[in-house]
Amino acid sequence: MIALKPTFLRNCSGVTRRQWLEVGAASFLGLSLPEYFRARAAGLADPARDVSCILLFLWGGPPHQDTFDLKREAPDSVRGPYQPIACRTPGIEVCELLPRLAQESELYTIVRSATHRETEHPRAAHYMMTGNQVIRGHEWPNLGATVNKFAPAGENQFGSVVLGPRLIDMPITPTGQDGGFLGNSYAPFRIADPTQPPEAIARLAPPPSVSPSRTARRERLAQTIERFQRHVETSATAPFDAAYERAFALATSAQSKLALDLAKEPDAVRDRYGRYTFGQGVLMARRLVEAGVRFVQVNWREHPINDYGFDNHGDNFNKLKQHQLPQLDQTVSALLTDLRDRGLLDSTLVLMTGEFGRTPTINRAAGRDHWPFCFSYLIAGAGLPGGRVIGTSDQFAAYPKDDPVTPAVTAASVFSLLGLDLEALRAAGVIEETHTIAGLQR
């Protein structure tokens, strides 16, 4: 028996995954990277389907009645002040505050019948980011964590990444942002501020006290320990070889950091996406999938309610007009057209959603309140035809009229488009639903 700190490794029965992570990351490497890189594939995905995913998570819940499901004939108390405008695709309309997306409607599909029953931000966010409802004492893995564990990665891929601040709803931090029951060795690699240069990202560089020579010595020591570990490893610990290799590569290689360096982009491109955190985060997401990352989540804001978060209980229409929808329109249209122009749209799935929608009726503070029973989102790329609408809502955009789409069905659709085996994921306990969105075929 070998004791390292309070953790014991049993060479008679193998080393547990958690124990080996603590030995490798805490005791020898002194770097946080290994916790954020997944192991190589476990054979639950189709390597021939090389599709990445960008999830644009609109924290706070944007109002579908004022964006993608306006009701011309509804009373003023439901309709709001903004008019629908025709898209380039005949028969589809969006809000007048989204003119750029209206002109690029052939690139995306609007799902107007998304639905669930979670009325609180943290529980709804968990549902949308994992495909599973909250169960007390049990945290499901983020979509990116599932991709980290079960989707095969090429040599230049380092799993999944979250760009932007960690979602909060004081005093609660929503679960579903990490590895869940899979363990945080599969949690997405997080970059809170995508506008900062790579050398300022703490997880991409050792502490100042760790010199390059010291890092090299630690790598040699880790290799020595790795050779020992091969004699005692189990199937649960073997995958960490790749995780540590990738961690050292990213921490020491200038080439691996290139995708995170927005200074390499022309000013015109950065301006096109928008010189604000969300816009630059979406641009970085494009660079990451271009470099081979399989899953990138970009968070809209840190908190759901303020001038920028979409939790518009009051002054909804001014907030939408002054900054929320102009920024969204600029950034998302830039992403879709940029992916198309670079030949990346067919190999990149783009999903833009919040955790829920807003009430059909306008409250006394000129806002809309929480409403999970019906809302809209956009889905594009991955070989899917655009210029379509899936599902419809009733006359007040209050409930789905047909083709209801739950977060579980959405998650299953994402995993299917990425080439993951849904039955294998269900057997692993990651998902319960294997049905995908009706009509969402390639």
Digit-coded pLDDT (tens) for 175-188: 999 999 999 889 99
The tokens of 358 are what? 């807003």
Model confidence band, residue 350 (pLDDT cutoffs 50, 70, 90): very high
Is 364 in contact with 307 (CB distance < 8 Å)?
no
Cis omega (within 30 of 0) for bond into 372:
no
How high is the pLDDT of residue 151?
Answer: 86
Higher pLDDT, 241 or 387: 387
Strand partners, 169: 172
SS3 272: helix
How high is the pLDDT of residue 159?
Answer: 79
Cα–Cα dist 369/203, whole Å: 38
Cα–Cα dist 389/377, whole Å: 10
SS3 20: helix
Cα–Cα dist 298/58, whole Å: 9
Backbone angles phi and psi of 110, in degrees to 5? -95, 125
Contact residues for 74 (Cβ-Cβ < 8 A; gap 6+) = 65, 360, 395, 396, 397
How high is the pLDDT of residue 440?
Answer: 86
E strands in 256-385: 295-299, 348-353, 357-358, 370-371, 375-381
Question: In this predicted structure, which of 62-66, 200-204, 349-353, 374-378 has the lowest mean pLDDT?
Answer: 200-204
Model confidence band, residue 209 (pLDDT cutoffs 50, 70, 90): low
What's the topology of domain 44-197+261-427?
Answer: Alkaline Phosphatase, subunit A (3.40.720)
Digit-coded pLDDT (tens) for 257-313: 788 999 999 999 999 999 999 999 999 999 999 998 999 999 999 999 876 799 999
Domain spans of the chain? 1-30+209-260, 44-197+261-427
Mean pLDDT score across all residues of the chain? 83
CA-CA-CA-CA torsion sign (209, 214, 219, 221): negative
Digit-coded pLDDT (tens) for 313-331: 999 999 999 999 999 999 9
- Burial code (b: 16+ CB inside 10 Å, e: under 16) for 263-292 equals eebeeeebebbbeebbbbbbbbbbbbbbbe
Is 407 in contact with 430 (CB distance < 8 Å)?
no
SS3 419: coil
Query: 246 pLDDT exceeds 80?
Result: no
Task: Tell how far CA 35 is from the center of its chain.
Answer: 18
Backbone angles phi and psi of 35, in degrees to 5? -70, -15
Digit-coded pLDDT (tens) for 356-415: 999 999 999 999 999 999 999 999 999 999 999 999 999 999 999 999 999 999 999 999
Cα–Cα dist 32/35, whole Å: 6
How high is the pLDDT of residue 23?
Answer: 36
Query: 344 pLDDT exceeds 90?
Result: yes
The angle that helices 407-417 and 143-150 make with each other, rounded to 10 degrees, is 30
Strand partners, 10: 14
The two beta strands, 375-381 and 108-114, are antiparallel
Task: Tell how far CA 348 is from the center of its chain.
Answer: 13
Amino acid, single-letter form, for residue 414: V
Cα–Cα dist 371/63, whole Å: 9
Highest mean pLDDT among 20-34, 48-62, 139-153, 422-436 belongs to 422-436
Query: 98 pLDDT exceeds 90?
Result: yes
The tokens of 410 are what? 């959405």
> Which candidate, 288, 286, 294, places its Cα nearest to that of 420?
294
Digit-coded pLDDT (tens) for 133-147: 999 888 999 999 999
Model confidence band, residue 197 (pLDDT cutoffs 50, 70, 90): confident
Cα–Cα dist 406/403, whole Å: 10
